[in-house]
Amino acid sequence: MRTSTSEEARLRKKGVKITHPVKKEDWGTIFWFADPDGNEFQVLEY
């Protein structure tokens, strides 16, 4: 099973721009990445 931390590392290796690195919150974990056009996406892990 992938975790948000391992997924962030996998995307970085592929050259994806991580705009907000993994951050652990009380409710779960989050990170943000951007596509080539600059659109940002959130990855949430509960």
Angle 1-28-33 from CA coordinates, rounded to 5°:
75
* DSSP annotation string for 1-46: ---HHHHHHHHHHTTPEEEEEEEE-SS-EEEEEE-TT--EEEEEE-
pLDDT for position 2: 87
> Could you give the number of structural domains in the chain?
1
pLDDT at 45: 95
Instruction: Assign 1 a pLDDT band (cuts: 50, 70, 90).
Output: confident
Give the CATH number of the domain where residue 11 resides. Answer: 3.10.180.10
| Structural domain range at position 36 | 4-45
pLDDT score for 38? 97
Please give the Cα distance from 37 to 46 (Å, whole number): 28
pLDDT given at position 25: 97
* Residues making up the chain, counted from first to last: 46
- pLDDT per position as a tens digit, 2-30: 899 999 999 999 999 999 999 999 999 99
